[in-house]
Structure 1
Amino acid sequence: MTSSIDKTEVRRTVLITGASRGLGRELAALYAADGWRVIACVRGEASFEGAIEAQSLDVSDPASIMALGRALEGVAIDVLINNAGIRGDTGGLATLDSDDFLEVMRVNALAPLLLARALHANLLAGERCVIANISSRAGSLAEGTLDDDDGDYAYRCSKAALNMATVKLAQDFRKDGITVLSLHPGWVRTDMGGGEANVPVATSAAGLKAIIDEADMADSGSFCSYDGRRISW
């Protein structure tokens, strides 16, 4: 007797952190519109239109990340997008605060590593096997201060650390066939980017999705912008 599995029910799955607003929310909507199963991770309450599943996650809390891993045990994940991030203090060295600095590092650099570990088995069970770390050109040692002098020490340091995390994960996960990317979304017009930002959130999200969807092992460990431009480390 042959099986009558409806192949339309077999969908690829993307998990997106920081999906309650801004870039994360736009990415969730794009993937849902493309027929993907979307697991949108949010810290508080959030409602979504369409087939988007909200999942509670506080990326600043390792216990919350571990709980997410347990809740999703056995769920195949094709793409993990580490999008959640915070900026922290922008006043420069004079106003640098230890607790603020460590919180930014915890959210922007440590959480993606903990999520990659917690969801490793899920990614191995997926078809695409991609981790996309939403980084920033601000974390590039070569380009990060070329056209601005903002005093956001914590943010810049955290994104530089995230870029190294991408390279290390790419090395460690190459044997598993998992592609790991660092992606610069541009200066996006969101709550974090502010009203003066020059990249509409829809433009950034569409560009990022196109890169993620086409990425393979040849791209693992790379750093590029939403528009495809390679960024120097």
Structure 2
Amino acid sequence: MTSNTAEKGTVLVTGASRGLGRALAGLYAAAGCRVIACMRQGGDVPLDVADPASIAALGERLEGEPIDIVINNAAVRGDTGGLESLETDDFLEVMRINALAPLLLARALRPNLRAGGRKVLVNISSRAGSLAEGTLDDEDGDYAYRCSKAALNMATVKLAQDFRRDGIAVISLHPGWVRTDMGGEEAAVDVAESAAGLKALIDATTLAESGSFRAYDGRTVAW
């Protein structure tokens, strides 16, 4: 999905084939931005976030192209059965996709963000990864997902420190419990509502907000 009005900025979205990623890509395209929609099959640029070689190839393909906003949205949930059903391979796969891939993408696309005008890196996290709030009203047994999002939040804080010298803001955002393939039909938040709230936060982000963790409705989420 690519707009011809690149002067309004370039936005790269991972996991753009469906759900929240597709909604965010659509909103930015409608706003007149050039959107680089990354997904495993189809899209503007093929990307398998589970494969470090694919991430490196993305950086090589986009070498020299300014990018204003990078949205690390691609994620998986993994097993939800609790400690008894936890399996090593599933746990490591969730960590690889949800926590490691955003770091590798941040490294690969740092020069592109440095060359961009807006300079914003977004990690789509989850309140489920908050040590303070993640289990207050949520007893799901998804150990891997929770651990991966907690790790992603730490990645946000570290990247915010490292990227500040480049003028790049790095934030974690909680999209809410969204009605998507991952969230399920019982989820409380419509995907369009979540995407609109996230876009508003992203568009208002400056270095002053770097290293923060907020929900789609603007509320600050405790780490």
Written as runs of structure 1 = structure 2, the 5 A alignment for 1:1-233 is: 10-46=7-43, 54-233=44-223
Identity of aligned residues (%): 74
Shift of 1:44: 1.7
Q: Tell me the distance in 2 between the aligned counterparts of 1:184 and 1:57.
A: 23
- 1:3 match: none
Q: Tell me the distance in 1 between the aligned counterparts of 2:147 and 2:203.
A: 28
Match of 1:76, SS?
coil
Root-mean-square deviation (CA), in Å? Answer: 0.8
Q: Tell me the distance in 2 between the aligned counterparts of 1:198 and 1:148.
A: 13
Shift of 1:45: 3.0
Match of 1:182, SS?
strand
Match of 2:147, SS?
helix
Q: Could you say which structure has the larger radius of gyration?
A: 1
Q: Tell me the distance in 1 between the aligned counterparts of 2:41 and 2:82.
A: 30
Match of 1:119, SS?
helix
For 1:28, the aligned partner's letter is A
Q: Tell me the distance in 2 between the aligned counterparts of 1:126 and 1:148.
A: 39
5+ unaligned residues in a row in structure 1: which ranges? Answer: 1-7, 47-53
Shift of 1:11: 3.0
5+ unaligned residues in a row in structure 2: which ranges? Answer: none
Shift of 1:68: 0.3
TM-score normalised per structure 2: 0.97
Match of 1:10, SS?
helix
Shift of 1:9: 5.5
Match of 2:173, SS?
strand
Q: Tell me the distance in 2 between the aligned counterparts of 1:83 and 1:61.
A: 16
For 1:39, the aligned partner's letter is I
What's the CA shift string for 1:136-189, capped at 9, x where partnerless? Answer: 000000000000110000000000000000000000011111000000000000
Q: Count matched residues.
A: 219
Runs (4+) off by over 6 Å:
none
Q: Tell me the distance in 1 between the aligned counterparts of 2:50 and 2:186.
A: 28
Q: Tell me the distance in 2 between the aligned counterparts of 1:45 and 1:9.
A: 21
